[in-house]
Amino acid sequence: MILIVAAIVVSMRKHLGLERSIAWASLRALAQMLAIGGALGLVLADDTPQVWSWLWVAAMVVIGSATIASRAKEIHGLFSLSMVALGSAVGVSLVVVFGLGIFPVEPRTIVPTAGMLLGNTIAATVLAARRTLAEISEHRDQIEVRLSLGQTGPMAVRPHVREALRTAIGPQIETTKIVGLIALPGTMTGLLLAGVDPVDAVLVQTAVMFLILGSVAITAVVIGGGVARRLSTSDHRLELPTPVKRALPSPSSPEG
């Protein structure tokens, strides 16, 4: 709280106008974390059936999908597409991590592992959705030329979807490259603070980083491909959302 007060003082001294936002964000985070802590105490208790952990994971997938849909409202049907993307990423990742015996199948591993995966994939998923829409919108003329030459919708948009996916997955690749050199990730830091052997902490963090990178790739591909399919009709015509159409110059304008 001392550092929060310091941030508020800096905002006041520099006339940034962020005092209310900083105070509200801090109080909201504290309230949310206390509430989550109490709920997790019930879910992770030794005598609690494991099904409640899986229900918690399902709830996180739903909330994450709603968050993604709210951040890219111009894309129709993004909530259901996000459910498929996040569900696929979490499902594949948990099957790998538990199937190979990396972590035991227990409430204390199910919920935190799924939470780390979802928390790190949401930003990339939103970026994949918005960049796919932007790439297709910006290169509308090129895509329509390919369509007029007989290419199918998926073929015509493929180069631009590829570029959107590179943009969405790239930051996580760069984060994976520098892990341990510049930044010490949260899982590793928490284990070190808890007194775990550094090598064991590094191995756990490595497993988590690989899971996150794989999950980001899965969600980006599912979202990118899904958004591209939603922007083309069954008879291979490009159909952009109305807000995007209004933002683009018309073909008869000087900019077009």
- pLDDT (tens digit per residue) in 18-72: 999 999 999 999 999 999 888 888 888 878 888 999 999 999 999 999 999 998 8
Q: What residues contact 209, with CB distance under 8 A and at least 6 apart? A: 176, 179, 185
* Model confidence band, residue 242 (pLDDT cutoffs 50, 70, 90): low
**pLDDT tens digits along 156-173:** 888 889 999 999 999 999
When the pLDDT of each residue in the chain is averaged and rounded to a whole number, the result is 86
